[in-house]
Amino acid sequence: MVRAPIPDLASGERRLEGAVAHYLARVLRLGAGDAFVGFDPVRSLEASAVVVKTDPDGMTVRFEDAREAAARGPRAVTWIQGLAKGDKCDAVVRDATELGATRIVVAQTERSVVRLDAARASARQARWTRIAQEAARQCGRSDAPAVEPFCAWTEAIAGVEPAEGARFCLWERATEPVGPALFEAIARGGPLAFACGPEGGLETGEVERAAAAGWTIASLGGLTLRTETVAAAVLGAVLVMAGAIEP
Amino acid sequence: MVRAPIPDLASGERRLEGAVAHYLARVLRLGAGDAFVGFDPVRSLEASAVVVKTDPDGMTVRFEDAREAAARGPRAVTWIQGLAKGDKCDAVVRDATELGATRIVVAQTERSVVRLDAARASARQARWTRIAQEAARQCGRSDAPAVEPFCAWTEAIAGVEPAEGARFCLWERATEPVGPALFEAIARGGPLAFACGPEGGLETGEVERAAAAGWTIASLGGLTLRTETVAAAVLGAVLVMAGAIEP
């Protein structure tokens, strides 16, 4: 069944324009009488829908009563990503969404080549939110991860409370592999958080600040991963390990 | 230390031209007297090297005696990838190399949108080999994975013997999660093999042929991953799980 993200999903008739209408009417060629599922990525609701009519600028659809969404991320997982160049953060948001992240924070780090002023940071956050919602739709999730406002590394690290579960700062120079502690954390249950530097890695001071805040500093092994590979590798590991040790 | 892939690495003076010379001289601006490490991705050897002189078409370098390469993939891991559109297989080769694959096979499947004739298949194999060698260099591996000739799915599946260890065919409609059996296989040690369809997934008959050949048919959970995410997720899981359960 076709799925489309619908903010403020509610039962009744509604007019759709813009990207969603384009996707349904032009890309998927849905017309009057065709059914799809609308989902509200913020509130984890979904509702059966039918197209009433299409026109050149959009379409009118009718939603049935909204219900609790069926498929959702299995646990709270925060991904903090050091701001990287080009479209690398787009790829990280997409991968992290597919692999179950529930909250994504992109953070300014000392080695981030790009600097974002307030206006650009806000535009990027909107862009990453759209990417997360689209990726959630494509992979069958109903709850897109929350993309938090762009902020500084220290603020991002401080923004995940110890009570929010096990927290891992991934650093290629760490001596402890992430595996054992992550395995324990998954077996124990509860939320997870990960933080990862940009393509140039983290400064020692940034790692020390994470350690001081109680984060576990851990490595993915002897090879140097590109920053855009780390989220998929680590969140893939969480998915597979959770499938191995949870009933 | 800068690392560069050198086929047939041997001690003594040697002239380098083409991509490697361009990378060393133009991108990294190495000149006479500068040191680097050459590695032979096929034989897992490496050797200290120094630039003797550069010229407009290339450079002369001198290698010391070759030694067993220091960093290499920790175990034999085969990745069979259903041929996907665009540059998706390039991304899979890059990710799989970073995450420790030792052999990569791209296979024609029923839902592969692209068809490759012999000439294009050979050109693609050469391209994927270059990408694997470059990715190996960037992540600090000395043994680039072997990129096997492009072949049909059935042939690729038959090409991994049961004696080569645990074999997993990843299928979104499988009912068993990959975690438990993969966990056991990693704990037991020995080689691993994985097979994954293209963006449209595998046909039931293709999955049945893998099952008949003794492959374990397993799922990554309820969400539908893009084919280009699967290798990073699964091989990341192998890396993390191996770090958790191997001494």
The SS3 call for residue A43 is coil
Q: Is the ipTM of this complex over 0.85?
A: no
Q: Which residue has the tokens 């630039």?
A: B51
Pairwise CA distance, residues A143 & A69, whole Å:
8
Pairwise CA distance, residues B158 & B212, whole Å:
10
Give residues with Cβ within 8 angstroms of A163, minimum separation 6. none
User: What is the reported pLDDT for B72?
Assistant: 45
User: What is the reported pLDDT for A64?
Assistant: 95
Global confidence as pTM: 0.74
The C-alpha of A173 sits at a distance from chain B's nearest C-alpha, in angstroms, of 13
Q: Which residues of A touch B141 (CB under 8 A)?
A: 223
Pairwise CA distance, residues A234 & B233, whole Å:
7
What are the C-alpha distances in Å from A150 to residues A38, A155, B60, B99? 28, 10, 48, 29
Pairwise CA distance, residues A94 & B229, whole Å:
9
Q: HEC states along chain B?
A: CCEEECCCCCCEEEEEEHHHHHHHHHHCCCCCCCEEEEEECCCCEEEEEEEEEEECCEEEEEECCCEECCCCCCCCEEEEEECCCCCHHHHHHHHHHHCCCCEEEEEECCCCCCCCCHHHHHHHHHHHHHHHHHHHHHHCCCCCCEECCCEEHHHHHHCCCHHHCEEEEECCCCCCECHHHHHHHHHHCCCEEEEECCCCCCCHHHHHHHHHCCCEEEECCCCCCCHHHHHHHHHHHHHHHHHHHCC
| A/B interface, count of CB pairs below 8 Å | 137
CB contact under 8 A, A223 and B182: no
Pairwise CA distance, residues B210 & B212, whole Å:
5
Residue at B184: amino acid letter: E
Supply the angle between the helices B179-188 and A227-245 in degrees, to the nearest 10. 100
pLDDT at A244 over 50: yes
Degrees to nearest 5, angle at CA B151 with B150 and B152: 145
Could you tell me if B98 and A225 are in contact, meaning their C-beta atoms sit under 8 angstroms apart? yes
The C-alpha of A74 sits at a distance from chain B's nearest C-alpha, in angstroms, of 10
Residue at A239: amino acid letter: L
For chain B positions 188-247, those within 8 Å of chain A (CB to CB) are: 220-226, 229, 232-237, 239-245
Return the H-helix or E-strand segment holding A243.
helix A227-245
The SS3 call for residue A46 is strand
Q: Which residues of chain B have pLDDT under 70?
A: 1, 27, 41-42, 70-74, 244-247
Pairwise CA distance, residues B232 & A163, whole Å:
30
CB contact under 8 A, A241 and B99: no
CB contact under 8 A, A95 and B232: yes
Note whether A16 contacts B: Cβ–Cβ < 8 A: no
pLDDT at A150 over 80: yes
DSSP conformation class of A33:
T
User: What is the reported pLDDT for B245?
Assistant: 62
User: What is the reported pLDDT for B246?
Assistant: 54
- Which residue of B240, B241, B245 is the best one to mutate when testing the A interface, meaning the one whose CB has the most A CBs within 10 A? B240
Pairwise CA distance, residues B75 & B99, whole Å:
11
The C-alpha of B90 sits at a distance from chain A's nearest C-alpha, in angstroms, of 14
Note whether A178 contacts B: Cβ–Cβ < 8 A: yes
Pairwise CA distance, residues A140 & A22, whole Å:
20
User: What is the reported pLDDT for B168?
Assistant: 97
- CB A173: neighbour CB atoms within 10 A? 10
pLDDT at A73 over 50: no
Token representation of residue B202? 């595998």
Return the H-helix or E-strand segment holding A199.
none
Radius of gyration of chain A (CA): 20
Note whether A116 contacts B: Cβ–Cβ < 8 A: no
| Strand B166-170 relative to strand B216-218, pairing | parallel
User: What is the reported pLDDT for B147?
Assistant: 97
Q: Which residues of B touch A234 (CB under 8 A)?
A: 236, 240
Could you tell me if A23 and A51 are in contact, meaning their C-beta atoms sit under 8 angstroms apart? no
Q: Which residues of B touch A99 (CB under 8 A)?
A: 223, 225, 229, 233
Residue at A211: amino acid letter: A
What is the pLDDT of chain A when averaged over all its residues? Answer: 89
CB contact under 8 A, B221 and A239: yes
Pairwise CA distance, residues A216 & A25, whole Å:
48
Q: Which residues of B touch A223 (CB under 8 A)?
A: 71, 98-100, 139-141
CB contact under 8 A, A182 and B244: yes
CA B226: distance to chain centroid?
A: 19
CB contact under 8 A, B244 and A141: no
The C-alpha of A80 sits at a distance from chain B's nearest C-alpha, in angstroms, of 18
Could you give the domains of chain B? 3-68 (2.40.240.20), 77-245 (3.40.1280.10)
User: What is the reported pLDDT for B44?
Assistant: 75
Pairwise CA distance, residues A166 & A175, whole Å:
18
pLDDT digits (tens, 9 = 90+) for A223-242: 889 999 999 999 999 999 88
- Which residue of B223, B226, B234 is the best one to mutate when testing the A interface, meaning the one whose CB has the most A CBs within 10 A? B223
When CB atoms are compared, the residue of B179, B221, B244 closest to A180 is B244
More confident residue, A94 or A181: A94
User: What is the reported pLDDT for B73?
Assistant: 47
When CB atoms are compared, the residue of B141, B178, B225 closest to A139 is B225
- CB A191: neighbour CB atoms within 10 A? 18
pLDDT at A75 over 90: no
Return the H-helix or E-strand segment holding A11.
none
Q: Which residues of B touch A220 (CB under 8 A)?
A: 236, 239-240, 243
Could you tell me if A238 and A77 are in contact, meaning their C-beta atoms sit under 8 angstroms apart? yes
Could you tell me if B23 and B7 are in contact, meaning their C-beta atoms sit under 8 angstroms apart? no
Average pLDDT over residues A154-175: 91
